[in-house]
Structures are given as structure tokens and as C-alpha cells.
Amino acid sequence: MNKKKFIEFLGFFSLRICVYLVLAVILLFVYDIGSKGVGSINWEFLSQAPRKGMTEGGIFPAIIGTFLVTIVTAILAVPLGMFAAIYLNEYAKQTKLTRIIRLSIRNLSGVPSIVYGLFGVILFVNILKFGTSVLSAGLTLGLLTLPWTITASEEALKTIPNSYREGALALGATKWQAIRTNVLPYALPGMLTGTVLGLARAAGETAPIMFTGAAFYLPMLPKSLADQFMALPYHLYVMATQHHAISQVRPLAYGTALVLIILILLMNLAVFILRFRLRRVIKD
């Protein structure tokens, strides 16, 4: 009996160690980037372009570039994702075709990001002749984000009870009228918050934009969608591995990493607060 208890104690103890280990790694990451990055962040760092071969100055063009490319991503992935989710949740029946669509979505979310990059080079850069540009990179990231926005939007639609749809249909509304008046208004906030999370992930991607439009260094901001751009994640990669004076610019790399993480955490936090509020509104 005692042996059994002892084994149980040992077992649960080792599980606890696993949890502590994971938490310790996360804290170590956050602490390392936070403590070493915070010194580089000041107004100049956020508002100016890199200077003197990127050994001084800031990351302003990279922030703007990431912002622009994320907008293009959103324009492609958000509406397409919502429409596809509406089809899957509201119209699709349990047919073989529906199963194929669902299987394709799950498989698309497993396609390596660099493969999306290759596809972007073929389709957007070469065939459609968008060149290496904000547009090509944004569309490539849009395709990458699409499976996430579909899944998130469908989760939101699933939370709407069937009685809402049936109520409208019983009053003589058509299917679309029922969806438009009794489903979408309630599902839309959830759909939007879910897609913002997808966009936050897309904003941190590097591999898909390396060959579709992100530039090593540009002295000016992109003037149109056809221009190349600097992006935060790619800038971090450059500062960490490609720069000619890597140890000299390490503080700048830490600063870039911190800004990138803060940007993504802010997007997540916004979604978290929005969800919390919406839940309260719906309860009332």
C-alpha cells in the first residue's frame, strides 16, 4: 500500500516538474527578450529609419512594412475566410465534397510556411507579375492565414443556437434572410476576434515573405503596393544572422524582437478584452 502511494507521489511529482520546466522556459524567453530589449526601445528607435549600415537608428520602416503587409493579408483572408465558414456551417450538408473541403482546410494549415513562399514566388511574383512587392507578400500571407480564419469563423458560427435560425425560418424568412438577420449579427464579433488572432500569427511569419517582397534594407518607405518593403520579422532575421557586424547590432536585434512580441501580444490582448466584454454584453 505504501509502495503504491509512493509511486503515485513520484508520478505526480514528475508531472509537476514537466509543468515547471515549460513555465520556466517561457519565463526565461520573456525575461531575456524583455530585459535586454527594453534598453534599445526609445522614441528614436520607433520613429526613425536604420542608419550607418543599420548599426544605428530605428525600425520605423519595418513597423510600417509589417503593418501594410498585414492589411493586404487581412483584405484577402478575412472576407474569404468568413464566406467559406458561412458556407460550411450554414449551407453545407454532410456530403463527400464537404468532407474534402474540410480535409483541404486542415491540410492547408499544415503546409510549411516556406512552401507558401515558393507558391507565392511562382503565382504572384512570376505568373501574375506582381514582382517582389507588398502585394505579393500580403497575398502569400493571406493564403497562409486563410485556413485559420475559416476555422475561427466557423467556431463563432457554431456558438449561435439553432433556434435563432429556426425562429426566422418559421416566420417565413428565406435562408439568407435568416443568416443575415439572426446569425451574422451575433456571430460577427466572434468571427472578427478569431481572425485577428490569425492575422497576429501572420504578422510574425518570415519564411513566406523572404522571397515575395521583404527587403534587407530600404532607405525609404514603400510608396505603393508594387514596392518592396522592410518587415519586422525579416529585419530581426537580418540583424541576428546576416548583418556584417552581428555582435555590434545585437541590442538592436533584441529591441526588434521585443517590439515584434509586444505587437503580437497587444493584438492578442485586444482580442482577449473584446471577448470578455462581448461575453458580458451577451449575458446581459
Partner 1 sequence: MRNIYFRKLKESIIRAFFFTNGILVVFILMGIFFFLLYTAIPAFREIDIKEFFTSKNWNPTSPVKEEYGILAMIVSTFLVTLGALVIAVPIGIGVASYLSDVAHWKVREIVKPIIEILAGIPSVVIGFLGIVLFGPAIAKISGQSHGLNAINGSILLAVMALPTIISISEDSLNAVPRAYKEASLALGASRWQTLVRVKIPAALSGIIAAVMLGMGRAIGETMTVLMATGNAPAFPSGFLSSIRTMTATIAIELGEVPYYTTHYYALFAIGLVLFIITFFVNLISDLVLHKFQEREL
Integer CA distances (angstroms), 14 to 4, 18, 154, in order: 15, 6, 38
The pattern of x and - marking residues 257 through 276 that bind partner 1 according to CB under 8 A reads x--xx--xx--x--------
Nearest CB to partner 1, comparing residues 41 and 101: 101
Q: Which amino acid is at 166?
A: E
Burial state string for 17-32 with b = 16 or more CB within 10 A and e = fewer than 16: eeeeeeeeeeeeeeee
When asked if residue 249 is in the footprint of partner 1 (CB under 8 A), the reply is: no
**Total residues binding partner 1 (CB under 8 A):** 84
Residues 174-213 that bind partner 1 (CB under 8 A): 174-176, 200-201, 204-207, 210-211
Nearest CB to partner 1, comparing residues 15 and 38: 15
When asked if residue 230 is in the footprint of partner 1 (CB under 8 A), the reply is: no
When asked if residue 152 is in the footprint of partner 1 (CB under 8 A), the reply is: no
Residue 229, strand partner residues: 214
Using the rule CB under 8 A, give the single segment among 52-60, 114-122, 158-166, 273-281 that binds partner 1: 114-122
Nearest CB to partner 1, comparing residues 81 and 222: 81
Nearest CB to partner 1, comparing residues 61 and 117: 117
Tell me how far apart the alpha carbons of residues 34 and 135 are, in angstroms, rounded to a whole number.
33
Residues 57-86 that bind partner 1 (CB under 8 A): 80, 83-84, 86
